[in-house]
Structure 1
Amino acid sequence: MRAPLVLTGPPAVGKTSAGRRLAESRPRGAYVDVDDVRQLVVAGGAAPWDGDEGVRQQELGVRNACQLARRFTAEGFATVLTDVVTPRTLTIYRAELPRCLVVRLRVDVAEARRRAATRPVHLTAQEFAALHAEDAAAEPAVDAELDVTGLSLDDLVAELSRRWAAA
């Protein structure tokens, strides 16, 4: 049974596109976008940067996503999760999905802005910039890092597939 793959990185790095495509390429693939899990809170929702409540909801979203991933994996699905992982939430992933492979995708901020201009972005310009600055300053203990600046989506998915198979 293949351990879940967690893709992380700042906004517009390609987590969602690559994660979904990678899961779709498997005979039995499941894709869990942790932002979608957090959006299940329909009243009283708080963003991760909105104080203590935002942090609590962020951690709840990660724990719920990990439960989904464990169930999918137990049923034989190759499971990919995407999230903007922080050092704090990485400890949750490691505890809840101890065999998961965590890959951090990186892109320069100018390329991220170019990519973001081609799709709907649900962040303010300040939030977008802050998340990129936070990611650049972070040194999370991920299993692998991959600069995706010059990679096509097909090349990115192929590289992630290779790394996941080797893990």
Structure 2
Amino acid sequence: MRVPLVLTGPPAVGKTTAGRALAASLRQGAYVDVDDIRHLVVAGHAAPWHGPEGIRQQLLGVRNACLLARQLGAAGFSTVVADVVTARTLAVYRELLPGCLVVRLRVSPEEARRRAATRPVHLTAAEFERLHAEDAAAGLDVDTELDATCLPLRRLVEELAAMWSAR
């Protein structure tokens, strides 16, 4: 079992695809998508950019993701968590998942738009652009960054696995 791996980056950088593939490549791997946890709220759901209630729900989702990752870890699973991390949520990850490895994935804006066009729309174009701009300006204190613009999935998973094993 390893410390949890937290994959971050704005929409369409490969967090879900790489995180699931990496977890699936392990003997005992688990994948936690924080959006899935946040979307358990089916009445009264608020996105993080929808004021205080959105921030409250964002933090609730992160805390629950951390609890789940810790429980999975205690059961012997190496766990990958995927989330669009902010300075506020990074502090929660550092507190509740001590020693976790936080990797920020990046792709070019053109590649992110290309990828986003191939999947169901969950964000407006304005929300998509806003999340990318906020991520670029955030200056998060992550452990490492990885440009996935030109990396095939297999190579991206190999690089993430190597970083995680070295932890």
Please state which band the TM-score falls in when normalised by the shorter chain.
over 0.9
Query: What is the distance in 2 between the residues matched to 1:26 and 1:6?
Result: 16
The alignment's C-alpha RMSD in Å is: 0.6
Give the secondary-structure state (helix, strand or coil) at the position aligned to 1:146.
strand
Q: What residue in structure 2 maps to residue 109 of structure 1?
A: 109
Report whether the alignment pairs 1:133 with 2:133: yes
Letter in 2 for 1:108: S
TM-aligned CA deviation for residue 107 of structure 1: 1.0
Q: What residue in structure 2 maps to residue 36 of structure 1?
A: 36
Could you tell me which runs of 5 or more consecutive residues in structure 1 were left unpaired when the two chains were aligned. Answer: none
Query: What is the distance in 1 between the residues matched to 2:121 and 2:32?
Result: 19
Post-superposition CA distance 1:22-60 (Å, at most 9, x none): 000011111000000000011111000000000000000
Query: What is the distance in 2 between the residues matched to 1:150 and 1:164?
Result: 21
Post-superposition CA distance 1:80-112 (Å, at most 9, x none): 000000011000000000111000001111110
TM-aligned CA deviation for residue 117 of structure 1: 1.1
Query: What is the distance in 2 between the residues matched to 1:8 and 1:72?
Result: 20
Query: What is the distance in 1 between the residues matched to 2:140 and 2:74?
Result: 27
Q: What residue in structure 2 maps to residue 144 of structure 1?
A: 144
Q: What residue in structure 2 maps to residue 97 of structure 1?
A: 97
| Poorly superposed stretches of 4+, deviation over 3 Å | none
Query: What is the distance in 2 between the residues matched to 1:136 and 1:85?
Result: 12
Letter in 2 for 1:125: A
1:143-162 → structure 2 map (5 Å cutoff): 143-162=143-162
Letter in 1 for 2:40: L
Report whether the alignment pairs 1:15 with 2:23: no
Query: What is the distance in 1 between the residues matched to 2:121 and 2:96?
Result: 29
Query: What is the distance in 2 between the residues matched to 1:27 and 1:131?
Result: 34
Query: What is the distance in 2 between the residues matched to 1:164 and 1:45?
Result: 33
Query: What is the distance in 2 between the residues matched to 1:34 and 1:105?
Result: 16
Percent identity between the two aligned chains: 71
TM-score (norm 2): 0.99
TM-aligned CA deviation for residue 121 of structure 1: 2.6
TM-aligned CA deviation for residue 138 of structure 1: 1.1
Query: What is the distance in 1 between the residues matched to 2:121 and 2:152?
Result: 20
